[in-house]
Structure 1
Amino acid sequence: MEIIFIFVAFICGLAIKMAGFPPLIGFLLAGFALNFFGYEANANLETLANLGITLMLFTIGLKLNVRDLYKKEVWIGSILHTVIWITLVNIVLTSLLWLGISVFSQLSLLHSTLLAFALSFSSTVCIIKILEESGEIKTRHGKVSVGILVMQDIFAVLFMVFATGKIPSLWALLLPLLFFAKPIINKILERVGHGELLPLTGFMLAMGGYELFELVGIKGDLGALMVGMLLAQYSKAAELSKSLMSFKDIFLIGFFLNIGFTALPTVELVAVSLLLCVFIPLKFLLFFKIFTWLKLRARTAYLASLVLSNYSEFGLIVIALMVNIGVMDTQWLVILAMALSFSFVFTGIVYRNSHNQYNQFKHILKRFENPVRLPEDDYIQPKNAEILVLGMGRVGKGAYAALNAISGNKVWGMDADPVRIAKLQHQGLQVLVGDGEDIDLWDNMELSKIQLILLALPSIKDICNITEQLQHANYTGKIASIARYEDEIQALLNAGSDKVFNFFTEAGTGFAEESLQLLKPTVVDN
């Protein structure tokens, strides 16, 4: 990647971040700006973009439980949405012929169907980025959204097979044997330790899965996703994902820049792309109606529908394929690239206040909620709870253990990750599944007896959001939270925390106090 690409991406990303929006919007703008000034994408940029997508899908797989795909809200929801969406958008596109816009007048039924199919996908890159930054990828709505994305990826792969006539080889039938390689891969991961070999192993596994699937005639990105899913239940999966996070984010900058290099649009093409963005609210409404019909809670349906309301890079791939084989005109690639960019901006702006939006409109949204709840959506009451620890990672689990030794069964732990909670329950801990940013959870919980809530979460944004939800729920007890950096302390105090502990300072203090206990016998002897 040329230095000018990095510089412009940094300037645009920083400017957009300072304005309060996701930096990825700035990277998109940087691509269009560089294109406008005559720069062209090179092979290195494309390689980085492809590597970023491969690593992203691999890390998605590391966090994905295969059983989540079996749930009807995922597979029925994705199929229903795709079929109904293509039908509705086809009708609308046909009616647009009467507007006299040249690009629409050239559309046949085949063209409009392909365009509707391309627009049916939601952006894996954009959505995973937003869910990761907000710490919601393992929440109920986060897992539903990721499940829908995986199903859409499968639809894309099947389409590519039929459209190109490229049939997987017979060797593809042997791919299930990868399951038997899992113990070997786990042993390798144990041997590499926690240093620089760990991310290198992640690169090897992601690219190895990609190349293996390509060799047997299946889209390589699906291979990276499947290898990640193969390792998802391994204890080191979370650490492996974290070690790849920075690399993935840097490489994905190449992807966003690449979109801007697609082409420079005319005024008419910009207008058409904006017109396509009018369909985005339709995508939201359709997802919301399907999710609530499938008995998801209104909040889960709302947040999942909102984050899925954008267009996808896979749509670009579908249209690019159609352009290459001469089925569609090149201008549609430009239009879709612009519509994709606008939809990213829409999601980035709207989703950042999604929890407050739900709080504001929940009385209306709950009218669409099915009275019958799915088992995993039932609220659990923590019996005799006086202290609640939110976030049962290493810090939260340590805090729970220390408090449990003092207060016994009056201490409960809570985490949004059901897999983690299941493991802790198996160990005998008093814990429950819950999303702290869910106002409905707090409204349905008896908070009058809870005197202290500890927020042991890595994201300051999550802590501030949870504090706000507790205030809305009229919680009157004390709140303690953890800051990783010194400049976060005042922000957390301003948000409503009664006490903020600096993670590294308090860890050092605790280490010193525990170590001093070793000297006490010596002091007594003297």
Structure 2
Amino acid sequence: MDPLMIVVAFLLGFLVRQVGLPPLVGYLAAGFVLNWLGFAGGETLHVFADLGVTLLLFSIGLKLDIKSLIRPEIWGGASIHALLTVTVLGVAVFCLSLAGVPFFSELDLPKSFLIAFALSFSSTVFAVKILEEKGEMGALHGRVAIGILIMQDIFAVLFLTFSLGKIPSIWALAVPVALLGLRPLLFTMMDRSGHGELLLLFGLFVALAVGAAGFELVGLKGDLGALIVGILLAKHEKSSELAKTLMGFKDLLLVGFFLTIGLSGVPTIAAIGVAAILVIAVPFKTTLFFMLLTRFKLRSRSSLLGSLSLANYSEFGLIVAAVGTAKGWLEPDWLVIIALALAVTFVIASPLNTMADMLYVKYREKLKKFETDTRHPDDQPIRPKGVSVAILGMGRLGTKAYDFMYEKYGDEVLGVDFGKDKVLEHRVAGRRVIHGDPTDPDFWKRIERQDIPAQIIMLTMPKHQANLSAARHLRGLGYEGCLAAVAHFDDQVEELRKSGVDAAFNFYNQAGLGFAEHAWSFLERSRQEELQG
């Protein structure tokens, strides 16, 4: 990769972050700037991009509960949305062809529906990046959005299989049995890979060799293999650690993916105009997602945030267009047009997702009119009683905090987490933990005022933005009790304090202090024993 690409990508990513936008917007802009400067993507950059997408799907699999895909809001929402989107956009594109609009005029009815199918997908890469940065992968809207995207990925894989005429090998039938047979071995290898670079290599080995290469060997899509192998390992206790270990490497490779979008071609003025027409269809897609999710009994807030994370076009749309171009069904210009439309939707969707909670608060009353009378099981009102201490985020740190506070306050301690499986595990262990999303502006409003903890709320969620968001919501609601939160860096501590947190602790500093105190007390006991002996 040319060093200039790295320089431009870093500078533009850095600049857009300073104005509150995700760095991926800068990477997209870098691709267009490099394109304008005459740079071509090159084979190395495309390899990086492909590896990034493969590892992304593997990481999704590591966090996925396969049972979630059978939920009506996921399989029903994805299927109905795809059917309606392809139908409406297909008819609209064909009408534009009858009107003689440039580029559209060459499309007949089947080609119009092919374009509509390419536009029906939303970007897995974009949604996961946005949800990870906001710490909302485990929230209801995050789980629903990811589930819908996986269903869309399955639709895309089926299309590629049939359109390419690539019939899977007879050995593909043995894949489920082979994977189940390999699972104990992979679990053992994962256990014995430690916590350093060997665990990272294990992740690459499983995702790229066992998953992607193994599936391609029997005529199946490699990315699908990475996703399925990730799902296979999801129940292992180190799956979360593996996902975190891969995160930095995966994110670096995905920079190549965003650069390739901008480098995919030089658009003409006419192509830019057509791309603008395609972008106009995104509000239809987003509104349709919102309407469908509310019909499946999600609250308006969950429906809005889920819909905004899907408010774009997808890298799979580019793949569909590439297949159509290779088959001679579409002119090559359509690949550039869809790439440009994809990039523009990324740029528009990024600030919308950043401002999602503000938009919800502003239009809350209007949006609530679309809610159904009954609620989704995960969106029920919260009615805790007699709570003095609340722990928001019941991971390892939150669990330790809960157990310590329980010794002081007993049953007046309440834990909150948005992971349903985690909540169930804590309840089985005897802890008082409820399911909820503390970053939701409505979360505390769904609790009676007298039930909001009077003494202290501890923010122990793993993502800084999640703790920051919860603190702002609580102070905005007039909560006057003590707020405590953890952070990983000193600048995060300062940001939490400015947002109303009374006691903000640098996790690493406090861990070092606790370790030193523990070692010192051990040393003192040893000395006392020697003196007494």
> Shared fold by TM > 0.5?
yes
Structure 1 residue 447: Cα displacement? 4.2
Bigger mean CA offset, 393-402 vs 185-194: 393-402
1:146 and 2:146 matched: yes
Per-residue CA distance 1:386-407 (angstroms, 9 max, x = gap):
1000111121111111111111
SS of match in other structure, 1:501: strand
Give the drift of 1:165.
Answer: 1.6
Aligned partners of 2:213, 2:494: CA distance in 1, in Å? Answer: 49
Structure 2 letter corresponding to 1:8: V
C-alpha separation between the residues in 2 aligned to 1:441 and 1:9? Answer: 38
What is the alpha-carbon distance in structure 2 between the residues aligned to residue 321 and residue 90 of structure 1?
Answer: 18
Range with greater deviation from structure 2 (26-35 or 233-242): 26-35
Worse-superposed segment, 259-268 or 446-455: 446-455
- The residue aligned with 2:49 is 49
Give CA deviations for 1:369-389 in whole Å, capped at 9, x if unaligned.
111122232233233211000
Sort the Cα spacing of 1:124 and 1:517 in 2 relative to 1 into closer, same or farther, 3 A. same
Tell whether the 8 Å contact from 2:55 to 2:207 is kept in structure 1 after alignment. Answer: yes
**One-letter code of the match for 1:508?**
G
Q: How does 1:340-359 map to 2 (within 5 A)?
A: 340-359=342-361
Q: What residue number does 1:511 align with?
A: 515
**Residue 175 of structure 1: CA displacement?**
1.2
Per the TM alignment, residue 428 of structure 1 is displaced from its structure 2 partner at its CA by 1.4
Rounded Cα–Cα distance in structure 1 between residues aligned with 2:383 and 2:514: 33
Residues 304-383 of structure 1: matches in 2 within 5 Å?
Answer: 304-383=306-385
CA displacement at 1:427 relative to structure 2 = 1.4
Q: Distance in 2 between matches of 1:505 and 1:288?
A: 43
Distance in 2 between residues matched to 1:505 and 1:32, nearest whole Å: 42
Q: Which residue of 1 aligns with 2:18?
A: 18
* Match of residue 205 from structure 2: 204
Q: Quote the Cα distance in structure 2 between the aligned partners of 1:439 and 1:461.
A: 14
Q: Percent of counterpart pairs with the same letter?
A: 43
Q: How many angstroms does 1:423 deviate by?
A: 1.5
Q: CA deviation at 1:521?
A: 7.2
| SS, match of residue 192 in structure 1 | coil
Q: Which residue of 1 aligns with 2:470?
A: 466
8 Å contact 2:486–2:504 — kept in the other structure? Answer: yes
Alignment: residue pair count: 526
Q: TM-score, normalised by structure 2?
A: 0.96
What displacement does 1:419 show?
1.6
Superposition pairs for residues 63-462 of structure 1, below 5 Å?
63-97=63-97, 100-177=100-177, 178-207=179-208, 208-449=210-451, 450=453, 451-462=455-466
Measure, in 2, the Cα distance between the counterparts of 1:120 and 1:315: 8
When the two chains are superposed, the root-mean-square deviation of aligned CA atoms in Å is 1.5
Give the CA deviation at 1:280. 0.8
Give the SS at the match of 1:500.
Answer: strand
Partners of 2:262 and 2:130 in 1: how far apart? Answer: 20
Measured against aligned partners, the alpha-carbon deviations of 1:159-178 in whole angstroms (never above 9, x if no partner) come to 11221221212211111111
Instruction: Tell me by how many angstroms 1:91 deviates.
Output: 2.5
* Displacement after TM superposition at 1:281 (Å): 0.7
Q: Could you tell me how far apart the structure 2 residues matched to 1:290 and 1:180 are?
A: 39
What letter corresponds to residue 288 of structure 1 in structure 2? F
SS at match of 2:415: strand
Stretch deviating more after TM superposition (86-95 or 208-217): 86-95
The farther-off stretch of 340-349 and 419-428 is 419-428
Q: In the alignment, is the contact (CA less than 8 A) between 2:90 and 2:112 conserved in 1? A: yes
Which amino acid counterpart does residue 295 of structure 1 have in structure 2? K
**1:262, distance to aligned residue in structure 2 (A):** 1.0
**Distance (whole Å) between structure 1 residues aligned to residue 506 and residue 67 of structure 2:** 38
Please give the secondary structure, in 2, of the residue aligned with 1:480: strand
TM-score (norm 1): 0.97
Contact 1:17/1:23 (<8 A) preserved: yes
Question: How far apart are 1:364 and its partner, in Å?
Answer: 1.0
Aligned to 1:38, the other structure's residue is in SS state: coil
- Measured in 1, the distance between the counterparts of 2:465 and 2:449 equals 23
Shift of 1:100: 4.2
C-alpha offsets along residues 293-341 of structure 1, whole Å, 9 cap, x if unaligned? 1111211111111111100000000000000010100111000000000
> Are 2:121 and 2:317, in contact at CA under 8 Å, matched by a contact in 1?
yes
Offset, 1:97: 3.8
Mean Cα displacement is larger for which, 456-465 or 72-81?
Answer: 456-465
8 Å CA contact 1:297–1:377 kept in 2: the answer is yes
Q: Letter of the aligned partner of 1:199 in structure 2?
A: L
Of the structure 1 ranges 137-146 and 255-264, higher mean CA displacement relative to structure 2 is found in 255-264
| Separation in structure 2 between the aligned mates of residue 339 and residue 365 of structure 1, nearest angstrom | 28
Say whether the 8 Å CA contact 2:102–2:270 is kept in structure 1.
no
Deviations 1:215-267 (A, max 9, x none): 11111100000000011111000000001001101111111111122111011
Q: Which sits farther off after the overlay, 368-377 or 95-104? A: 95-104
Rounded Cα–Cα distance in structure 2 between residues aligned with 1:511 and 1:400: 20
Shift of 1:517: 3.0
Aligned partners of 2:97 and 2:108 also within 8 Å: no
Which whole-Å CA distance do the structure 2 matches of 1:175 and 1:85 have between them?
A: 33
Which residue in 2 is equivalent to 1:59?
59
Which AA in structure 2 matches 1:121?
F
Is the Cα–Cα contact under 8 Å of residues 91 and 113 in structure 2 kept in the other structure? no
Q: Which amino acid aligns with 1:14?
A: F
Amino acid at match of 1:511: F
**Cα displacement (A) at 1:28:** 1.1
Deviations 1:339-372 (A, max 9, x none): 0000111111100010121112111111111111
Determine the C-alpha separation between the residues in 1 that align with 2:203 and 2:449. 43
Partner letter of residue 469 of structure 2?
Answer: N
Structure 2 unmatched ranges of 5 or more: none
Q: CA deviation at 1:464?
A: 1.8
CA distance in 2, matches of 1:160, 1:97: 25
1:54/1:206 contact within 8 Å kept: yes
Of 473, 478, 481, 2:482 maps to 478
Contact 1:448-1:476 at 8 Å conserved across structures: no
> Equivalents in 2 of 1:309, 1:91: separation in Å?
21
